[in-house]
Chains A and B, each alone.
Chain A
């Protein structure tokens, strides 16, 4: 009888231990699932909109459209036929007049890259990067050997400057919103101040929250 009671107590103890162990395990798993966040790499060409704001897809579409326009327009052929040389471009500013933070450098760099790759137009450096180049050249005047020292006054002068602006129009009511983006790029002759090309890309989005 006593032995039976002892065995029963042992069984109950073992059962309790098992239950407690299960609870601990389940809790641990639950905490792990709730607590962790997942990160995964996705293809850069995959189009995915989350908030409806300006994103990589818009930047890519803008770059593609403007590159096609700038390389296909007649200003290029006109210049090449009249000057018998490739035009030299410098990139000026892009003014963001929209309601969002838009980094124009993402699509401007795509355009610059396509221009350089096309070998139809030459690009020269501008802005901070040009300042840094000149700073290094200045340093060479006193530190580099004469045979490797680069001279001042021999930079390539740009024929055209490319400038741009980004505008938006927002039409919103309750949870619906239409955002219209217009990106314009202009090419101006450095000598005559004449605008020889205007490129544009329009994007219209319907956002429902």
Chain B
């Protein structure tokens, strides 16, 4: 019985000394292990940027850039308008020049740059009458003129 008590005492001392060895500092947070384990998992990620410059820049307002961008937008808008006008005038002839040469359909106008909602979705170009209705109107006018001419 006495031997068991001694063994128990020795074991308690050993376990106690081990736990003391882990914390050592009396001021150390008793839950330090939780944080230690948490950071052990992500320390590689956290240390991967050491010695590097982390770029967190922002675009400052620049008057000259703003003006040149406005100029470019105006230019694009004019160019688009002219192209649309030309297509509207001669496109209905289906001569294959503007529709099948791959230039206007090759993605230049569909690459996301011109499809920024500025030129294509403002309803401006949708106000043009369609080619079909124009053809019908022309035919009616021509027919009427010929009818009056021959009578």
Binding site for B on A (CB under 8 A): 51, 53, 101, 131-132, 134-139, 141-142, 151-154
- CB-CB < 8 A to A154: which residues of B? 25, 27-29, 32
Report which of A53, A101, A131, A142 forms a contact with B46, defined as CB distance below 8 A: A131
Q: How far is the CA of A151 from the CA of B28 in the complex (A)?
A: 8
Q: How far is the CA of A86 from the CA of B42 in the complex (A)?
A: 33
Assuming the contacts A151-B25, A151-B28, A154-B28, asked whether A134 and B49 have C-beta atoms less than 8 A apart, the reply is no
Contact B28 A135 (CB under 8 A): no
- CB-CB < 8 A to B35: which residues of A? 134, 152-153
Expressed in whole angstroms, the minimum distance between the Cβ of B55 and any Cβ of chain A is 14
Q: Mark B82-103, 1 if CB is under 8 A from A, else 0.
A: 0000000000000000000000
Contact A152 B36 (CB under 8 A): yes
Expressed in whole angstroms, the minimum distance between the Cβ of B102 and any Cβ of chain A is 39
Expressed in whole angstroms, the minimum distance between the Cβ of A56 and any Cβ of chain B is 13
Kindly report which residue of chain A lies nearest to residue B36, judged by CB atoms: A152
Residue B45 lies at the interface, judged by CB distance under 8 Å to chain A: yes
Kindly report which residue of chain B lies nearest to residue A135, judged by CB atoms: B46
- CB-CB < 8 A to A51: which residues of B? 61
Report which of A135, A136, A152 forms a contact with B32, defined as CB distance below 8 A: A152
Contact A141 B46 (CB under 8 A): no
Contact B29 A135 (CB under 8 A): no
Q: Mark B18-61, 1 if CB is under 8 A from A, else 0.
A: 00000011011111110110011011011101100000001011
Kindly report which residue of chain B lies nearest to residue A143, judged by CB atoms: B43
Assuming the contacts A101-B58, A154-B25, A154-B27, asked whether A135 and B47 have C-beta atoms less than 8 A apart, the reply is yes
Expressed in whole angstroms, the minimum distance between the Cβ of A7 and any Cβ of chain B is 55
Contact B39 A138 (CB under 8 A): yes
Q: How far is the CA of A101 from the CA of B28 in the complex (A)?
A: 42
Contact B58 A153 (CB under 8 A): no
Expressed in whole angstroms, the minimum distance between the Cβ of A179 and any Cβ of chain B is 15
Contact A141 B29 (CB under 8 A): no
Expressed in whole angstroms, the minimum distance between the Cβ of B72 and any Cβ of chain A is 20
Contact B42 A135 (CB under 8 A): yes
Which of A101, A135, A142 has the most CB atoms of chain B within a 10 A radius of its CB? Answer: A135
- CB-CB < 8 A to B46: which residues of A? 131-132, 134-136, 138
Contact B36 A139 (CB under 8 A): no
Which of B31, B40, B46, B61 has the most CB atoms of chain A within a 10 A radius of its CB? Answer: B46
Expressed in whole angstroms, the minimum distance between the Cβ of A130 and any Cβ of chain B is 10
Would you list 13 pairs from A and B whose C-beta atoms are within 8 A, ordered by A residue? A131-B46, A132-B46, A135-B42, A136-B43, A138-B40, A139-B47, A141-B36, A142-B40, A151-B25, A152-B32, A152-B39, A154-B28, A154-B32
- CB-CB < 8 A to A141: which residues of B? 36, 40
Kindly report which residue of chain A lies nearest to residue B48, judged by CB atoms: A135
Q: How far is the CA of A110 from the CA of B39 in the complex (A)?
A: 31
